[in-house]
């Protein structure tokens, strides 16, 4: 504590620990601020919990988006011998089985030079490379006089436009360190071969791999292709040739409904449904901790028995296990597709759902059109509800129910910030007033002590004078 002269009078004359007294008094005065700070923290924890629930429901909403927009029945291609070929099929492909016999694969054209030392250089002349000679394509002329194989490689690759037709490389034998220059066509097939004229007469070029087209039969029909990826043989199907049939029997490809993709999507929904339900249950049943002091305890029970959480759990469940489409003939409920409530155990009733994929697969084989209609109708109404609950927006009029609450909490936290600021100003003034009062008290005690000492001295002096007389 300081007086107006800057000298500390903290208990100097009163023998009181005035700093400690002021600290204790201010602690009492700060109780409203402490309560506001605790309320602000609780609101923050509540906001975090609502965000977590909202994100979980958004994830649930995302899992049904493909159903709500109309289920596309994709096809799946299966190969009996993936060492010969693999492939993919679109929804437009005709379902059925095809016999594929691969007799040859498409190859790139590779031209190589004679083996040379690393220091070898070519004689005077021009190396001419003509791409796709049947068309013909462009010719690239490279002056190779005095150039090593590595330098010739770099000159070829630097030719403008050459990369569209091929690439040059140098291969070194690790045993004798001899080098060979190779020129490889960019694409497979005889239409992509090229001719090379060695004007220097010193390179010694030859074809190390001839350009070749793929040859195969599809259900006995001969097909040739410059590429090992064939998209025109079967409508809506892409074939990827991997190897020749050889001694193996021809491969069979089967094109059928991709049930796995639909099963995976339903399974993902069930997982997300149960995750959201479990999360909501956790927050609703979590009890508050009385007189919590740790952050972990203060977080508990912030959404205990929350109405919105309970309503969301009920609505999502009712719109799933309780959904019925009476406009359909065969498949009217999701239970017919294997989506059902989890069985109760004794007196314990589960809030989760289960999925029997065998029922869905059987339904897809029965009437996939009705299955698609049922799933779309169910997903559309559930998606609409989840949209109203989870929409994220900075505008409360556009935001979903949970985010409106989050925006409201943000406003409350901001308002408490203002209250705390006002209280801090008041407390600062109050502390200054207390320090001023204690300082004034110490100064008054100083004066009294000074006066007391003066009077005592005067009385002592008078007494001494009388004794002398």
The predicted pLDDT at position 468 comes to 67
User: Six-digit token pair at 302?
Assistant: 């912030």
| DSSP string for residues in 274-286 | HHHHHHHHHHHHP
Query: How much is the pLDDT for 347?
Result: 62
Residue 39 burial class via C-beta count within 10 angstroms: exposed 0-12, middle 13-18, buried 19 and up:
middle
CA–centroid distance for 445 within its chain: 72
pLDDT of residue 458: 76
DSSP letter at 191 equals G
Instruction: For CA atoms 91, 93, 94, 96, give the dihedral sign.
Output: negative
pTM: 0.72
Strand order across the beta sheet in which 221-225 lies: 75-79, 251-257, 96-104, 214-218, 221-225
Closest CA to 211 of 198, 195, 199: 195
Give the pair of three-digit tokens for residue 312: 């969301």
HSE-CB for 56 with a 13 A CA cutoff: 23
- Alpha carbon distance 450, 454 (integer Å): 6
pLDDT of residue 362: 96
Give the pLDDT confidence score for residue 16 in this predicted structure: 67
In the predicted model, residues of the chain with pLDDT beneath 70 are 1-16, 346-347, 466, 468-469
Give the residue extent of every domain in the chain.
Answer: 32-71+260-405, 75-105+215-257, 108-212
Eight-state DSSP code of residue 192: G
């Amino acid at each position: 504590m300081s007086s107006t002269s800057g000298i500390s009078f903290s208990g100097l004359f009163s023998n009181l620990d005035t700093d400690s007294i002021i600290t204790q008094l201010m602690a009492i005065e700060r109780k409203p601020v402490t309560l506001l700070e605790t309320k602000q923290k609780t609101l923050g924890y509540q906001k975090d919990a609502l965000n977590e629930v909202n994100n979980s429901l958004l994830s649930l909403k995302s899992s049904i988006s493909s159903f709500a927009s109309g289920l596309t029945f994709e096809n799946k291609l299966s190969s009996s011998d993936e060492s010969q070929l693999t492939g993919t099929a679109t929804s437009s492909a005709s379902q059925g089985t095809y016999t594929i016999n691969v007799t040859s694969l498409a190859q790139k054209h590779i031209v190589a030079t004679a083996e040379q030392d690393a220091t070898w250089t070519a004689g005077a002349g021009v190396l001419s490379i003509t791409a796709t000679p049947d068309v013909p394509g462009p010719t690239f002329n490279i002056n190779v006089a005095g150039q090593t194989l590595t330098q010739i490689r770099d000159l070829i690759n630097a030719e403008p436009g050459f990369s569209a037709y091929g690439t040059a490389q140098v291969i070194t034998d690790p045993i004798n360190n001899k080098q060979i220059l190779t020129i490889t066509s960019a694409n497979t097939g005889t239409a992509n071969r090229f001719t090379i004229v060695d004007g220097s007469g010193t390179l010694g070029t030859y074809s190390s791999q001839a350009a070749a087209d793929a040859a195969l039969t599809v259900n006995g029909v001969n097909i040739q292709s410059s590429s090992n990826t064939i998209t025109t043989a079967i409508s809506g199907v892409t074939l990827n040739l991997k190897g020749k049939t050889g001694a193996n029997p021809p491969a069979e490809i089967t094109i059928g409904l991709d049930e796995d993709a639909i099963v995976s999507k339903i399974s993902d929904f069930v997982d997300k449904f149960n995750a959201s339900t479990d999360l909501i249950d956790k927050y609703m049943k979590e009890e508050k901790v009385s007189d919590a002091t740790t952050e972990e305890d203060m977080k508990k029970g912030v959404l205990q028995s929350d109405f919105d959480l309970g309503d969301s759990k009920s609505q999502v469940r009712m719109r799933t296990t309780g959904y019925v489409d009476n406009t359909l003939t065969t498949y009217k409920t999701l239970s017919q597709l294997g989506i059902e409530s989890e069985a109760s155990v004794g007196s314990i009733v589960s809030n989760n759902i289960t999925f029997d994929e065998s029922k869905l697969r059987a339904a897809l084989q029965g009437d996939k059109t009705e299955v698609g209609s049922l799933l779309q109708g169910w997903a559309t109404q559930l998606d609409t509800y989840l949209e109203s609950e989870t929409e994220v927006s900075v505008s409360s009029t556009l935001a979903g129910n949970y985010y409106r609450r989050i925006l409201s909490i943000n406003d409350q936290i901001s308002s408490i910030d203002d209250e705390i600021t006002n209280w801090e100003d008041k407390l600062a003034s109050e502390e200054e007033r207390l320090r001023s009062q204690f300082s004034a008290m110490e100064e008054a005690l100083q004066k009294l002590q000074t006066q007391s000492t003066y009077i005592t001295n005067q009385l002592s002096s008078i007494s001494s004078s009388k004794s002398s007389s």
